[in-house]
Chains A and B, each alone.
Chain A
C-alpha cells in the first residue's frame, strides 16, 4: 500500500471513530438533558464539580451551633458529668 493510500485509510478510520464517538456523546447528552433539563447541555461551564461541592458548606456549618456562646455553660456542664451519663445523653439525642 502506498504512503498516500495508508494515510488516507488512517484518516478515514480516525474520522469513523470521531463520528461514532459523537453519536454516542449526543445520545448521552440527550439522556442527561432529559434528567436534568435542557440547561445541562448548553454552553460551557454549566457543569462544575465545585457547584455541588457541598462539603465546604457542611464543614463551615459544622462549628456554627456547637460553638455558640449561649451553649458554652451547657457544654461545660455536659463535659463534666460522668461519662456513662454523658454517652447516654449523646445516644438519646443521636
Chain B
C-alpha cells in the first residue's frame, strides 16, 4: 500500500480552515504518514498542539526530512479530503504518476447536495487554458523532484503547480470520483497568465499568451513559423439557397467569403462537384474561386466521404481544410489559429467553433455519450459551458467535418474518411482513427465559422452506419475520455446525472444525434 504525504499551504488561510482540513485527514480511510504545512509557522505550531492530531500517528511538519517513495497529495487548506480519496488514489499510483479527480463544491443551499465538478481525462491543451484538473493533485516523488520539489510547488499558484507537475509526468490519470470537497463555491477553474507563459518557455512553445480575466482562461496563440499551402476541399452539388436575405450558390459563397475575409491567403480551392450540379451553379463557383480553383467532377452515387477523399488525392498541399459548402468564415484569422494548433506535431486535426446563422452554437466539438453529439448545439454563444468548457481550446474526441484542418500526412496515414459511411459518422470515425494513430484532435473557440445547416434538419441515421461505427469503436463510444462517466448520457451538454428531477423531454435529449452530411 502507498504511503501518503499531504501538502498544504497556509498562506492567507485561517486556523479554522486548517482545522477543517486536518479533521478530514484524520477521517481518511488511509492515514497519511506526514502532513506538511508551509506558509505560516504560527499556524503550524497551533495545529501541532491540536489534541486529536497529536494522538494520531500523522507527523505534522513544515518539511520532509528525507524524500522516500510516498505519494504526495497537494490539498488546499479549507478543503475536505474525501474519506476514500487516498484509497482511490492508491489504486492508481502503480500505473500513473500524477492523479487528479472530481470535486464537490459549496453548501450553496442549506438542504441541497453540493454541486460536483466532473472532470475529463487528461487534456493538455485545456490545461494551458485553465487549471481544469482542480486543486487536489497526487504525484509520485520522482515527478515532484523533477517539477521543483515539495516546498517550491506548495507555494505556487495552482495553475502553475499543475503545469509543472504535468510537464514532469509520463502518465497522468483522472479518477472519476469525488476526491475532495472544496471550500470554494466557485466551480470554474482558475488560470494564471504568468504560469502559462513560463510553461511555454519551458516547453519551447513559441506563442503569444493572453488572459481573459473575467473567464479566467488563457489563450495560447502559437506563432506560425511558415506559411504552408492549404487545400480547401469543398464537396458540393451547387445548391442555391437564401442566405442573409440573398439567394446564393452556397459553395460559391463559402469560397468567396474565405478568399475575401481570411487574412491567411496561401490556399487553393478544390471543389468536388456532383454530376447534378447545374451550369449556373458551376459558373458561380468558377467565378468565386478564380485562379485558385480546381474543379473535380464526381459522377457516382452520393458518398460524402468519397468526395472528400477524391478532393484530397487531387491536392498537392501538406494541409487540407475540409469545408462544407454551407459555411462562411467569421474570424478573419481563423486559418492562422487552426494552423497554429497544428504547429504542435502531436495534433492531427483542429477544428473551429461552428455557429448557425443566428449565432447560436452549431458545434463545439463532438461528445460521445455514447451517441455522438455536437456539444452544446443550439445554445447561445454567450453560454460558457460547464467549467467554462466552451471558452477554452481543448482536446475533443471528434470534430464535425463541416470545417476541419487536417495534416495531409495524417489524412493519408488513417486512410482518409471511411467510405462505409456515405452520410453520417464519417467524421466521428475519422476523429477516432486519428486518435487511434496517436494524434490529438483539438477544438478551439478562437476560430469561428458559420455553418448554415438547418436547425430543423432531421439526420437520417442509417442502421448500417450505426452498426459499423459500433463495430469499430464501441469501446470508445462508451468511454469518451473527454467526458465523465457520472455525467448525463444521451444529451449534448456537460451535465451531472440528476435524472429524477428532470422532465421526460429533458431526459430524452433536446436535439437529435448528429449527422455529418
Contact = CB atoms under 8 A, between A and B. Distances in A.
Interface of A: 10, 13-14, 16-25, 28-29, 31-32, 35-36, 40-41, 44-49, 52-56, 58-59, 62, 84, 87-88, 90-91, 94
Chain B contact surface mostly: helix
A11 to B, nearest CB: 9
B420 interface: yes
29 contacts: A14-B309, A14-B313, A17-B309, A17-B313, A20-B416, A21-B418, A24-B414, A24-B436, A25-B418, A25-B420, A25-B472, A29-B471, A32-B470, A32-B474, A32-B475, A44-B464, A44-B467, A45-B464, A47-B467, A47-B469, A47-B470, A49-B370, A49-B513, A55-B490, A58-B507, A59-B499, A59-B507, A87-B110, A94-B113
Nearest to B513: A49
Given A17-B416, A55-B490, A29 B507 contact: no
Interface in B456-505: 463-464, 466-467, 469-475, 489-490, 499-500, 504
A23 B414 CA distance: 9
A94 B111 CA distance: 11
B310 A10 contact: yes
Contact of A54 (B472, B475, B489): B489
Contacts of B412: 16-17, 20
Contact of B416 (A21, A45, A87, A91): A21
Contact of A40 (B111, B371, B474): B474
Contacts of A46: 467, 470-471
A56 B230 CA distance: 46
A18 B467 contact: no
A90 B507 contact: no
A62 B503 CA distance: 10
A23 B489 contact: no
Interface residues of B, number: 43
A22 B415 contact: yes
Contact of A20 (B415, B432, B474, B509): B415
A36 B413 contact: no
A57 B291 CA distance: 58
**5 smallest A-B Cβ distances: which pairs?**
A47-B470, A21-B415, A20-B415, A87-B111, A13-B313
B292 to A, nearest CB: 20
Given A17-B309, A17-B416, A48-B463, 16 more contacts: A10-B313, A14-B306, A21-B433, A35-B474, A36-B474, A41-B471, A45-B463, A47-B471, A48-B470, A49-B371, A49-B466, A56-B508, A62-B499, A62-B500, A87-B110, A94-B113
Given A21-B418, A46-B467, A55-B489, A90 B111 contact: yes
A28 B473 contact: yes
A10 B272 CA distance: 13
Given A47-B471, A48-B463, A59 B414 contact: no
